């Protein structure tokens, strides 16, 4: 049980760091500065904006 959780955490960390490095390589290839956002490491965004309560 503990080993399964450890493997899940290890794979998740590897995928996140791999995504960061791939994003950095693409940015360098395009000549853009590398942006690292620790609060949103995968740069995930909501598909639908929150509804505003303005009437």
Residue in the structure block whose two tokens are 């620790």? 38
What is the reported pLDDT for 52?
73
Per-residue pLDDT tens digits for 1-38: 889 999 999 999 999 889 888 888 998 999 988 877 77
State the pLDDT at residue 16: 85
- At residue 30, the pLDDT reads 92
pTM score > 0.85 for this model?
no
Tell which wins on pLDDT, 43 or 29.
29
| Reduced 3-state DSSP string for the chain | CHHHHHHHHHHHHHHHHHHHHHHHHHHHHHCCCCCCCCCCCCCCCCCCCCCCCCC
Residue 36 CB: number of other CB atoms within 10 A?
Answer: 9
């Amino acid at each position: 049980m503990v080993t399964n959780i450890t493997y899940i955490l290890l794979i998740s960390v590897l995928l996140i760091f791999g995504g960061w490095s791939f994003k950095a390589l693409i940015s360098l290839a395009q000549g853009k500065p590398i942006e690292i956002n620790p609060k949103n490491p995968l740069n995930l965004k909501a598909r639908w904006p929150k509804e505003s309560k303005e009437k």
